[in-house]
Amino acid sequence: MTDRKQINFTIIPEDGGTEPRTYANFCAVNHTPFDFTLTFCEVMPLSEKEIREAEADHIVRAPIRARLVLPVQFVPTLIAALQENMRVFSDSHQQPPPPPQQPPPSGGKGPVH
C-alpha cells in the first residue's frame, strides 16, 4: 500500500502578469448540475433612447467583460472568501459612532421648544 503524504500549501497569484484588470459592475449567475457561470458586465448610464427601449421591453443590454465557469465544489470557498473580505472591508471602513448626547442641565427639565 502506498502511503500518501499530505502537504499544506498556499496558492499566491503571480503578480506582474500580462492579464489586464477588467472592471464590471454587474454579475449574472447561472448554474448547471456541474458548474456555476459568472458573467460580468459593465452597465453604463443609459441614453434617452435606451431608457425608452427599456421601458418598452424591460431589457437593458450590457457588454460582457468576462465570463468565468467554476466547478460547483469551488463555490462555497468563493462565497466564504467574499464574506470574509466584506467583513474586513466593513470593519476598516466603518463610520465612527456619533458623540454621546449631553444630559440636560442639572435642575432643569430639559430644553423647551
What pLDDT sits at residue 19? 80
Q: Give residue 106's pLDDT.
A: 59
Helix (H, G, I), strand (E, B) or coil at 113: coil
pLDDT tens digits along 54-71: 899 999 989 999 999 999
pLDDT band at 102 (very low <50, low <70, confident <90, very high): low
Provide the 3-class DSSP secondary structure of residue 102.
Answer: coil
Question: 21-35, 37-51, 90-104: which range is least confident on average?
Answer: 90-104
Cell 449574472 sits on residue: 28
Task: Collect all residues with Cβ–Cβ distance below 8 Å to 16 and sequence separation of at least 6.
Answer: none
- Distance separating alpha carbons of residues 51 and 39, to the nearest angstrom: 23
Mean pLDDT over 35-61 rounds to 93
Q: To the nearest whole number, what is the mean pLDDT of the chain?
A: 87
Q: What is the DSSP string of 52-75?
A: HHHHHH------EEEEEEEEGGGH
